[in-house]
Amino acid sequence: MSAPANSQFFSNCTVDALDQAALALQKGSLIAFPTETVYGLGADATNASAVARIYEVKGRPSDHPLIVHIAGLESLESWTSDFPVYAISLARDFWPGPMTLVLPRSGMAKDFITGGQETVGLRVPAHPLALGLLHAFKKIGGQGIAAPSANRFGQVSPTTAQAVEEEIGKYLSPIDFILDGGPALVGVESTIIDCTGDSPRILRHGAITKEMVEESTGLEVVEEESDIRVPGTLERHYSPKAEVILDVMAEPGEGFIALSAIPTPKGAIRLASPSTTVEYARVLYAALRSADTQGIKKIAVIPPEGDGLALAIQDRLVRASRGR
């Protein structure tokens, strides 16, 4: 993999590289790093000017809250002022993993992290490099790494280091790094669970499903709308440049994404043919990206049916299709 113009790539992430990246974080650098869901663009979550650079690089409105990534459950208390018992069940069962808990914030979670809200989003990611970086950062006094997905605002989240470089490489500076940990295993962003009420509420669907949350907590997940702002659920999001149309067969020359059981329409350009829902999630974003690289103008997508992870995929695709 070639080195990007502005930032540095660490392909073979040795302990040394992680220590170096942790030191860079401490000095205010941005570090793009792999997680099991998608790649994140990280900064020291207590450093206002470093976090401000995340917003610049992403081109993201500054009132959108960021998820703070922490090394483990033991770091939860410093970021929150209070948490319900069910949040501990969830954290025990699914961390490290593709789940973000929204909890009442402590004084450490400043407005530049929470977008001025009284809550903070926290997650322990399940990728060895992410965890390695978090532990290396903690060892030198770091409290947590604020990281949105490493894409420009409204675009498709990157699932490889190469995609990160293509998305934001030109906005990074020479003090920043991209850690390469291979393709993300889950492929869609974490499930976000609001833990500020008596029962958990899912704010964004992901690989940790409603059934899993109910099983872990013994509580019924609340379904009605909350007044918590979750900009990742903006109508227009996760959009490639190509137009995305759902539940139709592709015309000749158009891109086509569907489960492998569905044959490619004549003349269409097959972008992905995953055989399971899990694989669908894993390859979806790379498939959307590859349409743009190939200059394809329209992508016909047949989303997977069902709930659980399929719901997360359907949700992202509906938003991607509203992108134009």
Binding-site ranges for ligand TXA (CB under 6 A): 35, 37-38, 40, 64-67, 100, 102, 114, 117, 119-121, 123, 125, 147-149, 189-190, 192, 203, 228, 230-232
Which residue minimizes CB distance to ligand TXA?
232
Q: Does 37 bind Mg ion (CB under 5 A)?
A: no
Q: Does the footprint of Mg ion cover residue 149 (CB under 5 A)?
A: yes
Q: Is 29 helix (H, G, I), strand (E, B) or coil?
A: coil
Q: How far is the CB of 229 from ligand TXA (least distance, A)?
A: 6
Give residue for tokens 């207590």. Answer: 46
217 near Mg ion (CB under 5 A): no
Q: Which residue has the CB atom at the shortest distance from Mg ion?
A: 149
The CA-based dihedral angle spanning residues 192, 87, 123, 142, taken in that order and rounded to the nearest 10 degrees: 150
Q: Provide CB contacts within 8 A for 130, sequence distance 6+.
A: 33, 34, 35, 36, 40, 69, 181
Task: Based on the shown chain and the rule CB under 5 A, indicate whether residue 100 belongs to the binding site for Mg ion.
Answer: no
C-beta separation of 49 from 56 below 8 A: no
CB atoms within 10 A of CB 323: 18
Is 162 one of the binding residues for Mg ion (CB under 5 A)? no
Distance, CA of 153 to CA of 66 (rounded, Å): 13
Instruction: Please say which residue, 36 or 254, places its beta carbon nearer to ligand TXA.
Output: 36
Shorter beta-carbon distance to ligand TXA: residue 31 or 250? 31
Cα 110 to Cα 5: distance, rounded to the nearest angstrom: 33
Partner interacting with residue 184 (select from Mg ion, ligand TXA, none; CB below 5-8 Å by kind): none
Scanning 10-18, 124-132, 145-153, 311-319 for contacts with Mg ion by CB under 5 A, the matching segment is 145-153
Residues in touch with Mg ion (CB under 5 A):
149
